[in-house]
Amino acid sequence: MGVSRKTKSVSELLGVFEQTDNALSVVELVKQLDQKMNKTTVYRILDRLEDSGELHSFMGKDGLKWYAKCHDCSSSHHADLHPHFQCRDCGKSECLDIEIALPKVSNHRIDTAELLLVGSCQDCLNQQ
């Protein structure tokens, strides 16, 4: 029954998210967990954690998939509708704690949205 079983692999993957407030790209996760599990396993666990509402995903500027912890989501309802920020200098991404309103578009049914803000993060601004 999904992820509630919480295997060793799932715990190890979630452990990586415990250590940061940033979002994590799949590439980064596969790299960090390389000694502990196969990359196929990483992809599959991420799928399951997204289905169960523990993580959400978004696409980065470069077309890579990123994951971050959900706050008020469940498997039946994804409540998180917030923008994400990606730094064009260091590449890091993070969730922004801001509400975004879905615009009404005539002749379209809008189900969801992804807003990606691109710029420079504090760390990179300071280093210049």
Partner DNA sequence: TGCATTATTGCAACTCAGTTGCGAAAGTAA
Partner DNA sequence: TTACTTTCGCAACTGAGTTGCAATAATGCA
Residue ranges binding DNA (CB under 7 A): 1-3, 5, 7-10, 25-27, 36-41, 43-45, 48, 63-65
What track of x and - describes contact with a copy of itself for positions 97 through 116 (by CB under 8 A)? -x-x-xx-x-xxxxxxxxxx
Min. distance of Cβ 105 from a copy of itself in angstroms? 6
Q: Which residues contact 57 (CB under 8 A, 6 or more apart)?
A: 46, 50, 65, 66, 67, 68
In the bound complex, what is the minimum distance in angstroms from residue 111's beta carbon to a copy of itself?
Answer: 4
d(CA 115, CA 124) in angstroms, rounded, equals 21
Residue 118 is encoded by which pair of tokens?
């691109």
Decide: residue 57, CB within 10 A, 0-12 exposed, 13-18 middle, 19+ buried. Answer: middle
Give whichever of 63 and 103 is closer to DNA, judged by the CB atom.
63
> 7 or 100: whose CB is closer to DNA?
7
- Segment 62 to 91, residues that bind a copy of itself, using CB under 8 A: 63-65, 83, 85, 88
Q: Which does 88 bind (CB under 5 to 8 A by kind): DNA, a copy of itself, none?
A: a copy of itself
State phi, psi for 41 to the nearest 5 degrees: -65, -40
The answer to whether residues 125 and 93 touch, using CB atoms and an 8 Å cutoff, is no
